[in-house]
Amino acid sequence: MEKLIKAVLQKTDELVEIIKQSKEYKTYLSIKEKMGENEQIHTLIQEIKKQQQYVVRNQLKNQKEDKELKKKIKALQCIPLYNDYLNAVDDLNHYLEPIKKLQDYFDQLTK
């Protein structure tokens, strides 16, 4: 069994290296870096998170809070760099899905 686990880990490492060398991963890293440097995106994300936490913490279903939150989310979605980031995350998740499925499979075997 130990030999099998070692082989699976080796193949997983190889898969991770292939993903790291992919255009999609490099694009993701580049966009993520640009996002980190974009004050407008950073501020909007922080405001949205704060407002979401406030709403959840206070269990609010108030239309004013909801409207303000939707307005900020819409503003964020209007920024091309943010949309590029979302697309890059989706592309990268496509590559990571087999690893997740493999992990789930082995989790099921060990239960």
Residue 43 pLDDT > 80, yes or no?
Answer: yes
Token couple for 44: 């909007």
The pTM for the full model equals 0.73
Note the pLDDT tens digit of each residue in 16-29: 899 899 999 999 99
Half-sphere exposure of residue 53: CA atoms within 13 angstroms, side-chain side: 6
Q: Look at residue 28 in the predicted model and tell me its pLDDT.
A: 95
Residue 106's pLDDT band, with cuts at 50, 70 and 90, is confident
- What is the average per-residue pLDDT within 51-75? 81
SS (H, E, C) the chain: CHHHHHHHHHHHHHHHHHHHHCHHHHHHHHHHHHHHHCHHHHHHHHHHHHHHHHHHHCCCCCHHHHHHHHHHHHHHHCCHHHHHHHHHHHHHHHHHHHHHHHHHHHHHHCC
Q: Look at residue 88 in the predicted model and tell me its pLDDT.
A: 95
Round to whole Å and give the CA distance between 102 and 14.
14
**Where in the chain are the domains?**
21-109
Token couple for 25: 């991963």
